[in-house]
Homo-oligomer: A and B are copies of this chain.
Amino acid sequence: MDEPGAEWGTAEGRAMIRLLWDPPTPPARGPRQRLTLDQVVTGAIEVAAAHGVDELSMRKVAQHLGVGAMSLYTYVPGKDELFELMIDRAWAGRAVPDRSLPWRAQVEFHAREAWAMYRANPWLIHSNLWRMPMGPHVLDAQEDLYRAVLLTGLPEGTVGRIAGLVESHVFGAARSAVTDTSMSARTGVTPDDYWESRSSFWGTYYSLERFPAMTRIWQNGGFDEEFTDDAWEFGLQLLLDGVERLVTAPDATAPPPDGTADDTARPGDGTAPTRADGDPPAGSGA
C-alpha cells in the first residue's frame, strides 16, 4: 500500500497509465466479464463512502459487488491501482470555470470545486499517501488551475508555486475539517464527555501559565469556527491577496524564483517538449 505505480518508467507504471487513460476493452475470447471497470471503481467508492476508507478492502468491495475477492484482480492489478482509479474518478465530477472571468475568480472557482470534492469524498484525504495519480481528470483540473494562474502574467515558476499553494491550502483545510467532523460524528459526544475531559486534561495538566496564548485565543472564541465550512476561505483570500500584490507590485518581498536568469533560453510555447532532465509532476502531490 505504498506508492504504487509511481515510477512512470516501470512496467507497472505504464500499466497504470494505460488503465487510467484508455481502459482496455474486454477481449472477446473467454467468458464475458460479469462487471465493468467502472462498476468496480464505483463499488469501491461506495464502500469507502459508506464505511470509511479504513474499511475499504478488496474482500469488502468484492462482496459489495457480489463477486469473489480474486475476481477483482481481473479488472485491476491491485488495491493501489484501484485507489488511483477512485481518485481520478472523484476528480472527474468537477465543473470548469468560466474562462472569461478574471484569474482570481477562476482560481476561487477551482478552489471551491476542490473543497466541495473533498467534502463529498472524505476518503480522498488519504490520497496524500500517494502521489497524485496522473489520470486524465486530475490533469484536466490541474490544467484549468494553471491556466487561471497564468492569467496573472507572473513568471512561470511563480505560477507553478502559487498553484501548488492553492491546492495545498484547500487540501489542508479539508483534511482538518474532515477529520474533525468524522471524529465528532463517530461518537455522539459533546456535552458531558467534554466536561469530563476537561476535568481530566484541562483541569489536570493544562496550565494557564504554561499556555497563556492559547488560553487567550480560546477565551476569545478564536478556535470556535476554525473548522466551519467557510473558514478556509479566509486563508484563500489571504493567499490571493498576496498574489494580487505580487501582480501589481513585482518588487514584493517574495522573490520570483526563476523568471530572470536560467541555464538556457527556453523556447516559447508550441514546440514539443525537449527538456532532458525531468517531466511535469502535474499532480504536485497536493
Contact = CB atoms under 8 A, between A and B. Distances in A.
A96 interface: no
A80 to B, nearest CB: 12
B176 A285 contact: yes
Which of A7, A54, A142, A267 has the most chain B CB atoms closer than 10 A to its own CB? Answer: A7
Given A175-B285, A242-B241, A213 B161 contact: no
B201 A17 contact: yes
A216 B273 CA distance: 9
Contact of A179 (B175, B269, B285): B285
B262 A252 contact: no
A20 B70 CA distance: 43
A269 to B, nearest CB: 5
Given A147-B212, A157-B225, A161-B235, A8 B197 contact: yes
A221 B175 contact: no
Interface string A210-240: 1111111111111111110001001101111
Nearest to A10: B193
Contacts of A52: 2
A251 interface: no
Contacts of A180: 131, 281, 285
B241 A253 contact: yes
Residue of A180, A212, A254 with most chain B CB atoms under a 10 A cut-off: A254
A67 interface: no
Contacts of A254: 234, 237-238, 241
A126 B280 CA distance: 25
Given A7-B189, A159-B217, A2 B194 contact: no
Given A1-B54, A54-B1, A211-B143, A8 B241 contact: no
A282 B150 contact: no
A111 interface: no
A169 B169 CA distance: 7
A273 B147 CA distance: 49
A105 B258 CA distance: 25
A280 B21 contact: no
A115 interface: no
Contacts of A168: 168-169, 172-173, 176, 235
Contact of A17 (B164, B205, B224, B262): B205
Contact of A286 (B175, B204, B237): B175
Interface in A16-44: 17, 21-22
Given A7-B197, A194-B279, A219-B275, 5 more contacts: A2-B54, A169-B169, A219-B266, A219-B267, A234-B255
